[in-house]
Amino acid sequence: MRNLNFGYGISRPRVINLDNNDLRKSNAIIAEMPELQACIGCGSCTASCTAGNLTDFNFRRLHTAVRRGEYQGAYEEINKCMLCGKCRLVCPRGINTRELIMLIKRKLGDF
């Protein structure tokens, strides 16, 4: 029964809707770390990421989505990070990415 396949399913909307997203946490993250807005999406953090080379963890995409108020699954995802800090060494905008991971964890995990 559980494995019955009707050949169709229900897709969740993939659209980022900035009218409905609750941007309060995202705004709080940016307020604490304004330099995050200076990200130019170069992907150096993802390219150098220890976790990203072993799993599908993509740090650039994750923090971009968080800035847009897309928090679902982000906390669980970010736990893949091993806090090695390599991303911070390469960011051309000098963003303290390791600190950013802690900040996102704090804001999204509410601890």
Partner 1 sequence: MAKRVVIVGGGAAGMQTALELKSRGIEPIIIERDMDLGGKVRDWHKLFPSFTPASDVLQPIIDKVRSSRIRCLLGQEVKTFAEDGVILRSEEHVPADAVVIATGFSLFDAHRKQEYGYGLYHNVITSVDLERMMNNGRVMLADGTEPRRIAILHCVGSRDEKVCQKHCSKVCCITGVKQAIELKQMFPTADVFNFYMDIRMFGPGYEELYREAQQRYNIHFVRGRISEAAQTINDRIQIKAEDTLTGRPLRMSVDMLVLLVGMSANRDNEALAAASNLSLAPNGYFQTKDSFLGAVQSERPGIFYAGAATAPKSLADTLAEASMTASAVERYLRDKYNNR
Does residue 72 belong to the site contacting partner 1 (CB under 8 A)? no
Q: Which stretch binds partner 1 (CB under 8 A): 2-10, 35-43, 48-56, 98-106?
A: 35-43
70, 71, 80, 96: which one contacts partner 1 (CB under 8 A)?
A: 70
Site for ligand SF4 in 35-54 (CB under 6 A): 39-45, 48-52
At its nearest, how many Å lie between partner 1 and the CB of residue 71? 13
DSSP string, 41-100: ---HHHHH-TTTTTSS--HHHHHHHHHTT--TTHHHHHTT-----HHHHH-TT---HHHH
Does residue 30 belong to the site contacting partner 1 (CB under 8 A)? yes
d(Cα 22, Cα 80) in Å, to the nearest integer? Answer: 25
Q: How far apart are the first and last CA of the chain?
A: 41
Stated as kind and residue range, the H or E segment containing 65 is helix 59-67
Nearer to ligand SF4, 23 or 84 (CB): 84
Binding-residue pattern over the window 52 to 91 for ligand SF4, x denoting contact by CB under 6 A: x------xx--------------------xxxxxxx--xx
